[in-house]
């Protein structure tokens, strides 16, 4: 249960100032935020404060009400407290990332000081966090920063989806490398022995990006945009975990990987196959490599 305070000048506003503020013209809301916090005082305070910055704040006290609002309202960002009385925030976050609302950015609100909770939240897919007590001006800044990053990530994911579609339309559906086969239509990976290896959506997008750009170093920021649709330095470790899972599925030796190489201080690179015939299969449909963060100009 939340017991900490929020720092804001709204707490010390005089009655006359409050009256003047209520009569003032507030900016037209252009962002819909969903605040999930069991503390009624914090819900009321943040809703009034965020309204001053054009952020309409819908408030709920638990996970059940959160899901009801998500089903009924278009939400741009979720402000999620980790310490809730019924279903904790980490559990709600995990469920959210496995649902149809998985792309909605999440900002964690937490009174916990342990870094482990923050790391788990980030690895589960949260975009950022603030620790209570926090300055509400910082909260507003973080909301806007997350939404800017999300828009960049959505452009990157749209570009990648277009590349996958173009690949299917122009060439055979499969990309082969080192005896492995990646089917871009079914998003299925087959081993050299023709065994099926299941891939998550993020794993498929990451692997497709690698094999379409053999020999090209890709930074973590670029890979974050592709895998998550967001670009946040806090997610560096989640990319490392995704690459680690891909290596396991590709039967790579984590100490001496032959395909997914770590380029220290820069990112990762897919090592092209040594076989000329296999290399031709991979690179025959290689698209130009403009910045992954912006659509290419026509």
The answer to the question of residue 220 being in a domain is yes
Distance from the Cα of residue 21 to its chain's centroid: 36
The answer to the question of residue 46 being in a domain is yes
Tens of pLDDT, residue by residue over 244-262, are 888 988 988 878 888 999 9
Predicted confidence at residue 170, as pLDDT, reads 45
Q: What is the CATH number of the domain that holds 206?
A: 1.10.10.10
The answer to the question of residue 4 being in a domain is no
Q: Where are the alpha helices (DSSP H) in the chain?
A: 15-23, 40-51, 63-72, 89-97, 115-124, 136-170, 201-211, 220-228, 236-249, 276-283
The answer to the question of residue 147 being in a domain is no
Mean pLDDT of 52-66: 94
Distance from the Cα of residue 280 to its chain's centroid: 34
Band of residue 265 on the pLDDT scale cut at 50, 70, 90: confident
Tens of pLDDT, residue by residue over 108-152, are 998 766 677 777 887 777 888 898 888 888 999 999 888 877 664
**Residues 129, 160 within the same domain:** no
Average pLDDT along the chain: 74
**Residues 228, 115 within the same domain:** no
Tens of pLDDT, residue by residue over 196-236, are 988 877 788 889 889 888 888 988 877 876 665 443 434 44
**Residues 14, 130 within the same domain:** yes
Left (φ > 0), alpha (ψ -120 to 50) or beta: where does 251 sit?
Answer: left
Into how many domains does the chain fold? 2
The answer to the question of residue 255 being in a domain is yes
Spatial separation of the C-alpha atoms in residues 25 and 52, rounded to whole Å? 9
Residue numbers of the domain that contains 268: 154-283
**Residues 100, 204 within the same domain:** no
């Amino acid at each position: 249960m939340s017991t900490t305070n929020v720092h804001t000048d709204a707490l010390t506003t005089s009655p006359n100032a409050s009256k003047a503020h209520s009569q003032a013209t507030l900016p037209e809301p252009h962002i819909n935020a969903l605040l999930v916090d069991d503390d009624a005082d914090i819900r009321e305070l943040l809703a009034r404060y965020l309204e001053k910055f054009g952020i309409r704040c819908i408030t709920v006290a638990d996970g059940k009400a959160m899901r009801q609002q998500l089903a009924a309202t278009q939400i741009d960002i979720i402000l999620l407290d980790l310490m809730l009385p019924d279903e904790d925030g980490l559990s709600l976050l995990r469920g959210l990332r496995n649902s149809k609302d998985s792309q909605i950015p999440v900002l964690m609100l937490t009174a916990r000081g342990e870094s482990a909770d923050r790391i788990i939240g980030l690895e589960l897919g949260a975009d950022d966090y603030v620790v209570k007590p926090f300055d509400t001006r910082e909260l507003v800044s973080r909301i806007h920063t997350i939404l800017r990053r999300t828009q960049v990530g959505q452009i990157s994911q749209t570009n990648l989806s277009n590349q996958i579609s173009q690949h299917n339309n122009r060439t055979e559906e499969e990309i082969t490398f080192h005896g492995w086969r990646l089917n871009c239509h079914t998003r299925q990976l087959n081993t050299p022995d023709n065994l099926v290896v299941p891939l998550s959506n993020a794993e498929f997008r990451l692997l497709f990006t690698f094999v379409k750009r053999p020999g090209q170093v890709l930074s973590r920021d670029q890979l974050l945009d592709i895998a998550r649709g967001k670009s946040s330095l806090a997610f560096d470790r989640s990319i490392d975990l995704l690459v680690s899972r891909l290596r396991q599925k590709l039967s790579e030796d984590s100490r001496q990987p032959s395909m997914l190489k770590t380029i220290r201080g820069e990112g990762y690179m897919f090592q092209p196959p040594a076989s000329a015939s296999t290399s031709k299969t991979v690179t025959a449909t290689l698209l130009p490599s403009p910045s992954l963060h912006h659509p290419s100009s026509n």
